[in-house]
Structure 1
Amino acid sequence: MAYEIDTFPGRTVSINGEPHLYFGGTGYLGLQTDALFQNLFIKNVQKYGTNYGASPKSNIRIDVYRKTEHVLCHLVGSEAALTLSSGYLAGQLLAQTLDDKYHHLFYAPNTHAALFQRKIKPFTTFTALNIAVREHLETKNNKETPVVFLDSIDFSGCNYPNFNALKTLPLEEIILVVDDSHGIGVVGENGGGVFNLLKKLNCKELIICCSLGKGFAIQGGAIFGNEERIKKLKNTAFFGGASPATPASLATFLDAQELYDQKRMELRNHIAYFSTLLKRPKKFHTMKEHPAYTFADPQFTEYLESQKIIVTSFPYPDEDAQLMSRIVLSAGHKKEDIDHLLECINILPKL
């Protein structure tokens, strides 16, 4: 059931005037309602203003963009990076740029809508994707480089952390484009996401895009890749014609590095605590270091709601899609919140 609320959902949410614990959303570090983080953001709004609508190619350029991209490169492990106003825009920039006569686009199962430029159906299995890519490569006089799009965190456990299905593809001949929106800031060394992990697979070219909102609690997006690729993307009309991320958001990212580390450690402690005490963990799809616990039973969602617990549960990305249900821990939760959740789950004879 959908509810309309008038405040941001933190560790709790008010439903029909009644307080409920909230174990949903994508605010993994719990910073959107954190007072210290908000004060950093307010300080930067006072310095940089509420919005900056100039082109990134303007003759007046605020240096916070260059500084942020430098820090992001170091964090992720890429040669170069660029920032945009959203993760969706980052995905669309890549999809539009690579959709030309020199490339052939392939979409892995469960690929996010942000990476689609045309009405191309994703493959339902990696086996079918593998066959299609190899058949394409075997076509005589074929000058189109295959580009495979996928999500790093697909909530089924198919990709991160092992990427076993991906490893079956002829990666040395593939440009790999990965949406790491649910990984960056949360998984990997210092929250660097999956770039260094996927770099070891030696694909023809690796490009990562992401939202900065889920792991870093700021409105913005980013793309990571080699210097040549990032330079080409920056030279597109698409990039030059779009407003950039607000400088206040990026400045807050720079100022909050110690806070990110602290909250990431708190989140990982929550994950370890919950996972250790959870009975019948096989009833959930989980991923190493990630706070999402996916399940398929709508009656379980209704049961949790009866216990004053709200989780993520809705058809995604549209009404015709399969119901997406998951429990999401955040660094903003308290131990007693998690204890109550565990008590409600563990007393059930079956899920």
Structure 2
Amino acid sequence: MPFEFLSQALLEREQQGLLRREHVVQAYQQQYVTIAGRRYINFSSNDYLGLAQTPFNTSTQVGGSGGSPVVTGYSKQHQELCEYLAAQLNREAVLLMNSGFAANATLCQSLFSQSGSQSPVKGNLVVDKLAHASIIDGALASHANFSRFRHNDMDHLHSLLAKNNNEGDTLIMSEGVFSMDGDQAPISELVRISQQHSAWLSLDDAHGFGVLGQNGMGTVEANALSQSELPVLMATFGKAIGTGGAFIAGSQTLIDYLRNFARHYVYSTAFSPMQAAHTLANIKLCQQEHWRREKLQNNIRLFKRLMQDAQLEVLSSDTAIQPVLIGCPKLALKVADELRQSGFWVTAIRTPTVPKKTDRIRITLTTLHEEQDIQHLVFAFAEVMERNKEERSQL
């Protein structure tokens, strides 16, 4: 029978406690989520500012774009979004993508696959060890010499770059806020090292855009990064902005090149004009309503303080992503299930999403959470961890 390995692979994952399943969300209401008829306080959402639930009225009634952006799929709503983003980020141009995964993958493949002469482009991709899977997949599918430096280890990055001996162009890729650990990249050091080695720096700011910076423009704004310091910026709209899709920002030459050679862009139907208009409206709300970021920061500080008071260890993070290390996939699932029984929707993040023996409960905080929500979560967490103390000690 063809493809018999499919069932076996699924069985093995289930036995290892690694099988993934979807849960149908029946309703979102502020900080609550309803699943299988029960309402939970949602601590697994990337809707950091609560913008996904803001009402949106538009005269744009087109349900879909109807084509690739380079055919008839690029509307005035897409253009307005691109121009606004470029101005706010002090970049020459912006390219819209259907997802952050597609954006990262197309960057790697387009810059290191073929040039205008259709010949393979030689070069080097040097990537943080904890970079998103989309970057890894894109790098593996490119023609670049691909290497990974230890997470946020600038000495290791420097040593890898020194070995390249200027053989072709080099792109360093990292993240503004790392999606699983919640920590941030050492931006000033990355800029210094990239310039020292005449390399380009590319940053995935999916979890920083909307949250960081005085006006929510992410790592670029928080660190006042010029286009020359950060030649390539990628961020998504599906997290803090609350819609969907992603963008790449940089020089006009970079964006024009991608418009011609990025297969994910050329051969995909553009997201709808309505989504583009909604995204632009939410970006403006994000900039105007500073209270959203202020409340989020207060919630982060409260959670960290209460966890410390309860003697519960959280990985070092000052962002909305607060991981609690468990170290075993099956135990992580058990802890998540017990927290759900207490009314909190949390997610167990397991290998291969994270390295082996770093399975965790990934708490994400949002503007929508109230102080009592966080207090009750920490209290329940302490009870669950105490009940599972013996099993944890055996890891």
User: Which TM-score band applies after superposition, normalised by the shorter structure?
Assistant: 0.7 to 0.9
SS in 2 for 1:215: coil
State whether residues 31 and 332 of structure 1, in contact with CA within 8 Å, keep that contact through their aligned partners in structure 2: no
Q: CA deviation at 1:96?
A: 0.9
Q: Which residue of structure 1 lines up, in the alignment, with residue 195 of structure 2?
A: 171
Per-residue deviation at 1:179?
0.8
Choose the corresponding residue for 2:345, options 303, 310, 313: 310
- Which segments of 5 or more consecutive residues in structure 2 lack a partner in the other structure? 1-16, 114-120, 141-145, 327-331, 390-395
SS at structure 2 position matched to 1:214: coil
Asked if residue 295 in structure 1 is aligned to residue 324 in structure 2, the reply is: yes
Whether the 8 Å contact between 1:96 and 1:117 is mirrored in structure 2 is yes
| Aligned partner (choices 26, 37, 51) of residue 31 of structure 1 | 51
Q: Deviations over 1:145-183 (max 9, x none)?
A: 2111112211436534x4376367343411111111111
Q: 1:70 to 1:105 in 2, by over 3 A?
A: same
1:56 aligns with 2:76: no
> 2:238 aligned to 213, 232, 242, which one?
213
Following superposition, the deviation at residue 21 of structure 1 comes to 1.2
Give yes or no for contact 1:220–1:245 (8 Å, CA) kept in 2: yes
- Taking structure 1 as reference, are residues 91 and 266 closer, same or farther at Cα in structure 2, changes over 3 Å only? same
Please name the residue that 1:285 is paired with.
Answer: 315
**How far does residue 28 in structure 1 lie from its aligned partner after superposition?**
1.4
- Asked if residue 83 in structure 1 is aligned to residue 96 in structure 2, the reply is yes
Partner Cα separation in structure 2 for residue 232 and residue 84 of structure 1: 14
Corresponding residue of 1:103: 123
Distance 2:293 2:80 in 1: 27
Supply the AA of the counterpart residue of 2:158.
N
Aligned ranges 1:14-29 → 2 under 5 Å: 14-29=34-49
Find the residue that maps to 2:215 and give its secondary structure.
helix
Say whether the 8 Å CA contact 1:188–1:194 is kept in structure 2.
Answer: yes
Structure 1 pair 7–227 and aligned structure 2 pair: CA distance change class (3 A): same
For the Cα contact (< 8 Å) 1:111–1:122, is it kept in 2?
Answer: no
How many residues align structurally? 338
More deviation, 73-82/88-97: 73-82
Q: Offset at 1:338?
A: 2.8
Q: Which residue of 1 aligns with 2:368?
A: 332
Distance in structure 1 (CA, Å) of the matches to 2:73 and 2:39: 48
Mapped to 1, the partners of 2:169 and 2:343 lie a distance apart of 52
TM superposition score normalised by structure 2: 0.74
Contact 1:13–1:19 (CA<8 Å) still a contact in 2? yes
> CA 1:302–1:348 in structure 2 vs 1: closer, same or farther (change >3 Å)?
closer
Q: Which amino acid aligns with 1:97?
A: S
Per the TM alignment, residue 204 of structure 1 is displaced from its structure 2 partner at its CA by 6.5
Higher RCO (C-alpha under 8 Å, 6+ residues apart):
1
Q: Which has the larger radius of gyration?
A: 2
CA–CA separation in structure 2 for the residues paired with 1:202 and 1:253 = 23
- What SS is found at the alignment partner of 1:107? strand
3-state SS of the aligned residue for 2:39?
strand
Question: What is the root-mean-square deviation of aligned Cα atoms in Å?
Answer: 3.3
Residues 175-254 of structure 1 aligned to structure 2 (within 5 Å): 175-197=200-222, 200=225, 206-236=231-261, 238=263, 239-254=265-280
> Which residue of structure 1 lines up, in the alignment, with residue 282 of structure 2?
256
Q: Is the 8 A contact 1:109 1:123 kept in 2?
A: yes
What is aligned with 2:171?
147
SS at match of 1:325: strand
Q: Deviations over 1:105-141 (max 9, x none)?
A: 11112111112324356333434332111111xx3xx
Please state how far the C-alpha of 1:70 moved relative to its aligned partner: 1.3
Are the counterparts in 2 of residues 312 and 326 from structure 1 also a CA contact under 8 Å?
yes
CA–CA separation in structure 2 for the residues paired with 1:274 and 1:151? 20
C-alpha deviation, 1:268, in angstroms: 2.8
Is the alpha carbon distance of 1:324 and 1:96 closer, same or farther for their aligned partners in structure 2, counting shifts above 3 Å? Answer: farther
How far apart in 1 are the matches of 2:104 and 2:205? 10
Q: Quick one: distance in 2 between partners of 1:296 and 1:226?
A: 40
SS in 1 for 2:244: coil
Conserved in 1, the CA contact under 8 Å of 2:227 and 2:251? no
TM-score by length of 1: 0.82
More deviation in 101-110 or 196-205? 196-205
